[in-house]
Amino acid sequence: MRYRILGGTGIEVSVHCLGTMMFGAVGNADHDDCARIVHAALDRGINFVDTADMYSAGESEEILGKALKGRRDDVVLATKVHFRMGEGPNRSGNSRRWILREVEESLRRLRTDWIDLYQIHRPDRSTDIEETLSVLSDLVRQGKIRAFGCSSFPAEEIVEAHHVAERRGLQRFRTEQPPYSLLARGVEADVLPVCGRYGMGVLTWSPLASGFLSGAYRRGRPVDLSTGRPALTPARFDPALPENAAKFDALEKLVALAEDLGCSLPALAVAFAAAHPAVTSVITGPRTIGHLEELLKGAPLTLDDATLDRIDEIVPPGTNLYPPDGAWRPPSLADAALRRRPLTERAAG
Residue positions annotated with a catalytic role = 55
Contact by Cβ (8 Å): 14, 48 = yes
Pick the closest to residue 292 from 67, 45, 70, 77 (CA basis).
45
Q: C-alpha distances in angstroms, 159 versus 119, 120, 191?
A: 16, 15, 10
Q: What DSSP letter does each residue of 3-14 carry, written as one string?
A: EEE-TTS--EEE
Whether the CA torsion 224, 50, 255, 298 is positive or negative: it is negative
Q: Where are the beta strands (DSSP E) in the chain?
A: 3-5, 12-14, 16-19, 48-50, 76-81, 115-120, 145-151, 175-177, 201-204, 281-284
- Three-class DSSP category at 216: coil
CA pair distance 199, 158, nearest whole angstrom: 12
Pick the closest to residue 323 from 205, 183, 229 (CA basis).
183
In the beta sheet, which residues pair with residue 80? 119
Q: How large is the angle between the packed helices 289-297 and 31-43, nearest 10 degrees?
A: 20
Contact by Cβ (8 Å): 14, 281 = yes
Other beta carbons less than 10 A from residue 72's beta carbon:
15
Q: How large is the angle between the packed helices 305-314 and 245-261, nearest 10 degrees?
A: 160
